Chain A
Amino acid sequence: MGIISGLVVLAVAFIVGMDGILDEWQLFQPLIACTLVGLATGNVGSGILLGATLQMITIGWMNVGAAVAPDIGLPAVVAALLVCGPAAISIKNGIAFAIPFAVIGQILNVFVRKRIVRFIHQADRAANAGNLSKMNRVHLLSLCFQGLRVLMPTLLIMLISPHYLHHLVNQVPVVVTNGIDVSIGLLAAVGFAIIMNMTIDKHLWWWLLGGFLLAVASGLNIFILTIIGLVLTIIYIWLSSRHPDSSNDSGDVNEQDDFDKELDDL
């Protein structure tokens, strides 16, 4: 890998680390992060494929409130570097590599979030002095540390000889490689369970089962199923607004009136 593409990969790692904490542009999602690393290393095709496969596993991984989920950005960049870079390992081995880095990324994230408390105290001092620009600088400096959180491990991986990594992966017995492939199929369940844990209640189980059974029985593709899901949701909301009494959580008459009024406004 040339120096330029190495530097671009590091720049991507830095940006991914920053967006990973911001959670705004979603550049840290594997779908995009792996594609960017693929572009940087001149191997965009496998980057996109790896990204899509990894995306399905990490789809439900999210930070809710103060709880930190397994990291997404660091494993996406590292796996893409190993798959698209000179180590040229297979996509499924790349995913196997990604998992320990999800743990490492999570640990580093918690570490940085704790260390930033010091910066917060600096910001307090800036506030006491009425120094707005210093306070803003402290904020952006914290962001740089989150960028370094992904950049540093990526740099370390880059320094390991790609031939050694390639050789190492080839040493893995076929049984394990195929076993990993099976595991990849299972892993998506965790993310979906995280989403369910946040949302599901008694009557929502029917929605989940409905989607599941329709997908299994009809074999329709996901785009058509999404449209069906949207239509069913709209019908459901329409019906429950017409029959407010059938809904358990609707409150008194006044609340219902307000709600109708707001719906008219929309």
Chain B
Amino acid sequence: MGQHLTDNHQKNLNQHPQLQPGDFISIFWRSGFEQASWNYERMQNLGFAFILSPAIKRLYPNKADRISAMKRHLLFFNTSPIMQSLVTGVVLNLEEQKAAGKPISTSEITSVKTAMMGPLGGIGDPVWNGTIRPVLSALAASLVLSGYGIWGPILFFVAWNGLRLSFRYQAQKLGYARGTDIINLFSSGVLKVITKASAAFGMFMVGVFIAKWVRVDFDLGRIHIFQHMAWLNAYVSALAALLLTMMCLWLIRLRVTPIWIILLLFVLGLIGYAGGVIVV
């Protein structure tokens, strides 16, 4: 496929504009601004068009073609931001073929975008926001609290952005090289394995975080019959932390918004302390 494409490009070199190395870099840089105009009407639509605009400029010097390219990329779009680079790559491949005269319709390009954004959103949010970011930021915060100061924020920034930028770069490249063949990746099960691994690791770490950071410190010594069982304090507190988290999960499933749960916990903390049940 790749070879075939290259041949095609050679043939069309003189008649049709092609994407230049600089365009890919510019598009890669722009990919970090995808959500700037996130809106309730078409979500990331303008973001996608913004990212693609160096390619639109290069491929469609003719005004009518340019207008229709701009319009088709201002349609509804929403996915997990970092995963979007894969969609960009595939679309760049399609747009370049279209500009070279291949019979690719607007609705084909739109349906490729639509077909990719759902599954990628379903992978991207849990992997990046549900696992990688919580784990990295937790490790960084722990570094700070164990006395490494500024190294915590620096390592978090470098690690996250290193992963994010290299992923975006590679995904854009891969999407462009493979074009619509990338759909095979969706059915191959690799993405399923990644999701499964990230979910297992993420949940393991959430278990660790609950044990380490949700603090419900009961003072059993205050209750007469527990006076000689102070060693139990740590275990009772840990159990309470787990139950508290499960209560929050239950409330979220009941569609109580996080803000109300936060306010509830504030009140609970105040009452718990004032009543002498929970200690600082």
Residue on A nearest B140 in the bound complex, by CB: A31
Residue on B nearest A121 in the bound complex, by CB: B41
Instruction: Tell whether A190 pairs with B262 under 8 Å between CB atoms, given A181-B280, A211-B204.
Output: yes
- How many angstroms from the CA of A22 to the CA of B164 in the assembled complex? 13
B32 sits at the interface (CB 8 A):
yes
B39 sits at the interface (CB 8 A):
yes
B window 204-219: CB within 8 A of A: 204-217
A167 sits at the interface (CB 8 A):
no
A169 sits at the interface (CB 8 A):
no
Per DSSP, chain B at the interface is helix
Residues of B within 8 A of A (CB): 32-43, 45-47, 49-50, 53, 56-57, 63-64, 66-67, 70-71, 74, 78, 81-82, 121, 125-126, 129-130, 133-135, 137-142, 144-146, 149-150, 152-153, 156-157, 160-161, 164, 184-185, 187-190, 192-193, 196-197, 199-217, 234-235, 238, 241-242, 244-249, 251-253, 258-259, 261-263, 265-266, 268-274, 278-280
Q: Is B206's CB under 8 angstroms from A140's CB?
A: no
- How many angstroms from the CA of A132 to the CA of B49 in the assembled complex? 9
Q: Which of A139, A197, A213 has its CB near the most chain B CB atoms (within 10 A)?
A: A139
Q: Is B33's CB under 8 angstroms from A258's CB?
A: no
Residues of A contacting B235 with CB < 8 Å?
A: 216
B37 touches which one: A25, A44, A69, A116 (CB < 8 A)?
A: A116
Residue on B nearest A228 in the bound complex, by CB: B204
Nearest chain A CB to B237 CB, angstrom units: 9
Q: Is B205's CB under 8 angstroms from A211's CB?
A: yes
B35 touches which one: A22, A45, A186, A259 (CB < 8 A)?
A: A22
A113 sits at the interface (CB 8 A):
yes
Instruction: Tell whether A207 pairs with B213 under 8 Å between CB atoms, given A52-B145, A113-B38, A256-B189.
Output: no
A152 sits at the interface (CB 8 A):
no
Q: Is A259's CB under 8 angstroms from B193's CB?
A: yes
Binds B, one of A5-13, A56-64, A155-163: A56-64
Q: Is A236's CB under 8 angstroms from B152's CB?
A: no
Q: Is A22's CB under 8 angstroms from B245's CB?
A: no
B125 touches which one: A18, A119, A146, A198 (CB < 8 A)?
A: A198
Q: Is A120's CB under 8 angstroms from B42's CB?
A: yes
Q: Is A22's CB under 8 angstroms from B33's CB?
A: yes
Q: Is B189's CB under 8 angstroms from A262's CB?
A: yes
> For this complex, into which size category does the number of interface residues on chain A fall?
35 or more
- How many angstroms from the CA of A116 to the CA of B247 in the assembled complex? 37
Q: Which of A126, A215, A234 has its CB near the most chain B CB atoms (within 10 A)?
A: A215
Q: Is A51's CB under 8 angstroms from B144's CB?
A: yes
Instruction: Tell whether A215 pairs with B207 under 8 Å between CB atoms, given A120-B37, A142-B37.
Output: yes
A3 sits at the interface (CB 8 A):
no
Residues of B contacting A31 with CB < 8 Å?
A: 137, 140-141, 144, 152-153, 156
Q: Is A61's CB under 8 angstroms from B258's CB?
A: yes
Q: List 27 A-B contacts (CB under 8 A).
A: A21-B36, A49-B145, A51-B144, A51-B153, A52-B140, A66-B78, A102-B262, A116-B38, A117-B41, A120-B37, A127-B70, A129-B67, A130-B67, A132-B57, A181-B273, A182-B273, A187-B266, A189-B241, A192-B248, A205-B203, A207-B203, A210-B204, A212-B242, A232-B200, A251-B189, A256-B189, A263-B190
Per DSSP, chain A at the interface is helix
- How many angstroms from the CA of A131 to the CA of B50 in the assembled complex? 12
Q: Is A120's CB under 8 angstroms from B209's CB?
A: no
**Closest CB pairs A-B (n = 5):** A211-B207, A183-B269, A185-B215, A193-B248, A259-B189
Residue on A nearest B240 in the bound complex, by CB: A186
A window 226-255: CB within 8 A of B: 226, 229-230, 232-234, 236-237, 240-241, 249-251, 255
- How many angstroms from the CA of A66 to the CA of B125 in the assembled complex? 12
Instruction: Tell whether A186 pairs with B39 under 8 Å between CB atoms, given A31-B144, A142-B46, A196-B249.
Output: no
